[in-house]
Structure 1
Amino acid sequence: MTTEHLLMNTLHGKPTTRAPFWFMRQAGRYLPEYRQLRSQSNGFLNLCLNPKTASAITLQPIHRFNMDAAILFSDILIVPFGLGMEIDFVEGRGPVLDALKDSKSLSKLTQKNNWSRIQATYETVSKARESLRPDKALIGFAGAPWTVATYMIEGGTSRDHSKAKEWAYAQPNNFKTLIEILVESTIEHLSKQIDAGADVVMLFDSWAGALAPGQFDKWVISPTKEICRRVRNIHPKIKIIGFPRGAGAGYIKYSKETEIDAVGLDTSVSPIWAAAELEAPLVIQGNLDPVLLVAGGKGLQAATLKILDAFDRRPFIFNLGHGILPSTPPEHVAELSEFLGAYRKGG
């Protein structure tokens, strides 16, 4: 059994025998053991806030596939829940929130985050870290402010995020206040996860690509930089991964200005382009199309090798360009995990 801490060594710029790997949404609906626990729970949010169950789910893919890192089983909307918003996860629809509409509804969030409401999240981190092998990393996470704000304003998922963008343009002061609240809460949320045992933290900005360049700078880059700077003031050695999904050419500016240690690429990004344009020592993470993991076969292996070859000479973490799809056959995940575990750099 290896004792090489592949993911942490990669993030610290140390040489490794192979690229570490883990997969976004690696704990989830494609696994029968997850579905069994889900069927016994009283809703998704209760599942997230039950430390015994959530820690078990966090570890399920590690037990089955031996990835190099586990990621906390939780949700990016835990922070607005801690801020007092009520959230319901509806099957087939996703999260439903009582949407923010104006400064009056916004004022209800200005109280200090009710961390007792989500304290179970940090207990989950502790339980998961205690159960993980020392050479496996535990990744904590939060949603980035812009993405979380879209859910709070839209009242759930949205195709075009028009209400959130309208707020940003028409009510800039209110929108700025909301982002500031989320920055403060995200810093504390990540810090509490690190205190509880998270080795690495990740910021998911799933809807970063919805913004025009000037708005992207204002609502994605600036808040992310503030979070990174202040989390490191508290935890100087922590490594931070950013995922500005859909950022396109904005990946360059995001990577240079936010002070992240690693950047997750979405499926639209060419590995060859990223290897040339995103300068080391930045660690790159990504970016296999999750649909290929559903399809399997020769196409999966060919795409995997193409990504590995593109980043063979720099610090790299293999991942997907988005989360594992519920229809993914577990045997395809097993095959890919076995291949990645046996792959050696330069080989």
Structure 2
Amino acid sequence: MTKILLETLKGNPSDRVPFWFMRQAGRYLPEYREIRQNAPSFMDFCYNPDQATEVTLQPIRRYGMDGAILFADILVVPDGLGQKVWFEAGHGPKLTPVNTEETYAELSLNGFHDKVGNVYETVSRLSKELPEEVTLIGFAGAPWTVATYVIEGAGSKDHAAVRQMGYGNPELFGKILDLLVDATSEYLCAQIDAGANVVQIFDSWSAAIPEPYFHKWIIEPTREIVARVRAKHNETPIIGFPRLSGAMLETYVLETKVDGVSLDTGVPLDWARDSVQRHVCVQGNMDPHLVVSGGDAMVNEATRILDTLKGGSHIFNLGHGFVPQTPPENVALLSETIKNFRR
């Protein structure tokens, strides 16, 4: 059977718009919560092929999406490099900060693939267990976004410490980005080797970076990753997601050479159609909170998105991931709305 999501990314759209949702495997599903409560920690959950495979399959069974994204976390990469990573309830991820030459020296690619090998095992299992028509999506965080956690040791609202290192200590900051480029490129290639059909690079914190630094910290590392993955896997499409990048989105698409790009909720659809979709497949961009509300507001917005972007390559998705309070029945209605739409 045809993988219509994969074909759409390759420039062969069908009459039906393919779809998947960011965080489609997650806390809004009771079957996910049942498995999660039996995992000792979130990182243990990510590294458990039995559990990670099962929760990746759960939304496919419920809703029949055209794409299944590997269940893992972007912090697998620094964990694999030797940085201590853990999650605290109510506080999110925590890491031992890497902000000096001494702490940077503790990171290494030696043993990286052994440490994250269970993720590849999950990808391999999914490639065999997913329905034939479903596209398997691997992923990684982009170097800038992962660096915000690596350097600050936690999430941040303004990433002040990271910016200050980038401006004031560009040599150390450059070393960190270069190491993340190396690790991320190898990590994505290994996912493809294990069976991923598509990979996505998440740059969740790319907002409000001054233009010259947007090129240096976001575009250049991503372009290098795309080039390295293409050198080994030329037929595998790559999706970028420079979230909240605003007017830099078109430049990002043209310079990184991605095959598709995710649109965050704030991207005007008419502009995306005219300025971005003519270059690549676009993916997005419904507000996840509309799915919490459901009803006519959700259906009408989904229809508007589908109608506006129907003239080119489009994968329906959200502008960011599902939130925990999302009613599963609203996801079912949204899925049926998308499936019933024809170009």
Given the two structures, how large is their TM-score scaled by the length of structure 2? 0.98
Q: Distance in 2 between matches of 1:279 and 1:50?
A: 38
Q: Which runs of 5+ in 2 are unaligned?
A: none
Q: Do structure 1's residue 112 and structure 2's residue 114 form an aligned pair?
A: no
Amino-acid identity (%): 47
Q: How many residues align?
A: 343
Which secondary structure state, in structure 2, belongs to the residue aligned with residue 89 of structure 1?
strand
Partner of 1:270: 268
By how many angstroms is 1:98 displaced? 0.6
* CA deviation string 1:65-103 (max 9, x = no partner): 100010000000000000001111111111000111211
* CA deviation string 1:89-131 (max 9, x = no partner): 1111110001112111111114535221110000000111110
Deviates more, 1:99-108 or 1:73-82: 99-108
Partner of 1:69: 67
By how many angstroms is 1:219 displaced? 0.6
Partner of 2:315: 317
Partner of 2:153: 155
* 2:277 and 2:312 in contact (8 A); partners too: no
Which secondary structure state, in structure 1, belongs to the residue aligned with residue 176 of structure 2?
helix
Give the one of 22, 31, 36 matched to 1:33: 31
The one-letter code sitting in structure 1 at the alignment partner of 2:6 is M
User: Is the alpha carbon distance of 1:113 and 1:143 closer, same or farther for their aligned partners in structure 2, counting shifts above 3 Å?
Assistant: farther
Give the one of 182, 185, 204 matched to 1:184: 182
Partner of 1:175: 173
Partner of 1:45: 43
Partner of 1:130: 128
Give the one of 328, 340, 343 matched to 2:341: 343
Partner of 2:223: 225
* CA deviation string 1:263-317 (max 9, x = no partner): 0000110111111111524000000000000010111011111111111100000
* 2:139 and 2:188 in contact (8 A); partners too: yes
Q: Which runs of structure 2 are paired with 1:198-277 in the superposition (5 Å)?
A: 198-277=196-275
Which secondary structure state, in structure 2, belongs to the residue aligned with residue 142 of structure 1?
strand
Q: Distance in 2 between matches of 1:53 and 1:103?
A: 37
Q: Which runs of structure 2 are paired with 1:322-333 in the superposition (5 Å)?
A: 322-333=320-331
Q: Distance in 1 between matches of 2:103 and 2:338?
A: 48
* CA deviation string 1:169-202 (max 9, x = no partner): 0110000000000000000000000000000000
* 1:281 and 1:315 in contact (8 A); partners too: no
Deviates more, 1:104-113 or 1:235-244: 104-113
User: Is the alpha carbon distance of 1:198 and 1:212 closer, same or farther for their aligned partners in structure 2, counting shifts above 3 Å?
Assistant: same
Q: Distance in 2 between matches of 1:113 and 1:12?
A: 34
The one-letter code sitting in structure 2 at the alignment partner of 1:13 is G
Which secondary structure state, in structure 2, belongs to the residue aligned with residue 84 of structure 1?
coil
By how many angstroms is 1:15 displaced? 3.2
Partner of 2:119: 121
The one-letter code sitting in structure 1 at the alignment partner of 2:157 is R
Partner of 1:289: 287
Which secondary structure state, in structure 2, belongs to the residue aligned with residue 202 of structure 1?
strand
* CA deviation string 1:294-341 (max 9, x = no partner): 010111011111111111100000000000000000000011011111
Q: Distance in 2 between matches of 1:282 and 1:29?
A: 32
Q: Distance in 1 between matches of 2:111 and 2:209?
A: 27
* 2:109 and 2:183 in contact (8 A); partners too: no
Which secondary structure state, in structure 2, belongs to the residue aligned with residue 10 of structure 1?
helix
By how many angstroms is 1:139 displaced? 0.1
Q: Which runs of 5+ in 1 are unaligned?
A: none
* 1:113 and 1:185 in contact (8 A); partners too: no
* 1:13 and 1:281 in contact (8 A); partners too: no
Which secondary structure state, in structure 1, belongs to the residue aligned with residue 283 of structure 2?
strand
Partner of 1:141: 139
* 2:259 and 2:281 in contact (8 A); partners too: yes
Q: Distance in 2 between matches of 1:293 and 1:83?
A: 37
* 1:287 and 1:307 in contact (8 A); partners too: yes
* CA deviation string 1:23-42 (max 9, x = no partner): 00000000000000001110
The one-letter code sitting in structure 2 at the alignment partner of 1:235 is H
By how many angstroms is 1:44 displaced? 0.7
Q: Distance in 1 between matches of 2:87 and 2:57?
A: 23
